Amino acid sequence: MNQSSMDGREMAAFIAVFNHLALPPRVPGREDPGLAQISYDILERLINATRSMSNLPGNPFSRETECVRRSLQSCQIVNEGGKLTASSLLSVFRSLRVNDVLILHVTEQNAGLLIRRQTG
């Protein structure tokens, strides 16, 4: 995707995502208004990248890459809208496979929590 094929809204979204992945020279003095959408877009890009990596011919790490993709999808589900809910947590806990990692963002504490299922 090149710059000339994006409209103004797409370019603004792209720049917002980029600024959250690579620290810009001048950081804004306020929180971005569309932070939940930016987080969703970042996760979508990571999920698509891991899907592409899993499908590479002869990839000796396709199983591991698939595990990372499932973890990112669970992260996207449980952190949707920037808030953790009991129903989304229960749903994701039920579907967590052995060695999968659940990534939680605790907004109020600006903290991350990783939960890994070790046994069946």
C-alpha span between 97 and 32 (Å, rounded): 34
Distances (CA, A) of 44 to 17, 30, 51, 112: 11, 24, 10, 19
For residue 65, the model assigns a pLDDT of: 92
pTM: 0.76
Q: Give me the residue spans of the domains in the chain.
A: 3-116
- Encode pLDDT of 52-100 as tens digits: 998 899 989 988 999 999 999 999 989 887 788 899 899 999 999 888 8
Question: Torsion-angle region of residue 99: left (phi > 0), alpha (psi -120 to 50) or beta?
Answer: left
